[in-house]
Amino acid sequence: DTGVSQNPRHKITKRGQNVTFRCDPISEHNRLYWYRQTLGQGPEFLTYFQNEAQLEKSRLLSDRFSAERPKGSFSTLEIQRTEQGDSAMYLCASSSRGGPSTDTQYFGPGTRLTVL
């Protein structure tokens, strides 16, 4: 169990550029989640995948945001035409379906995005 990993850990970009983040979940976990956390706030749910299917999406996920999990393993979160308001920590989490740890989400270290 190597934990949830996220890359890059930090990203600085200029307004209007596109950025993509990657999340590798714990290997046996079939559920994957993306959250956004701004300074002084708790994480806010963005979206959820079960295997490759995107089953839940928050209204926070505007049309500039897209998430994929093509083979049911790693996931990517892309933000197009970034805005300064997109500056935040983007957290990925994974969980298993069934077993004693079901419903427990394990978080990665996050990707901190700064939009200049």
Partner 1 sequence: AQSVTQLGSHVSVSEGALVLLRCNYSSSVPPYLFWYVQYPNQGLQLLLKYTTGATLVKGINGFEAEFKKSETSFHLTKPSAHMSDAAEYFCAVKNSGGYQKVTFGTGTKLQVIP
The residue (of 44 and 68) whose beta carbon lies closer to partner 1 is 44
Q: How far is the CB of 53 from partner 1 (least distance, A)?
A: 12
Pick out residues in 76-105 that bind partner 1 (CB under 8 A). 91, 93, 95, 103-105
Q: Tell me the three state secondary structure of residue 81.
A: coil
* 108 lies in the site for partner 1, by CB under 8 A: yes
97: Cβ contacts below 8 Å, ≥ 6 apart: 30, 31, 50
* 7 lies in the site for partner 1, by CB under 8 A: no
The single residue listed with the structure tokens 């950025």 is 19
| CB-CB neighbours of 26 under 10 Å | 18
* 25 lies in the site for partner 1, by CB under 8 A: no
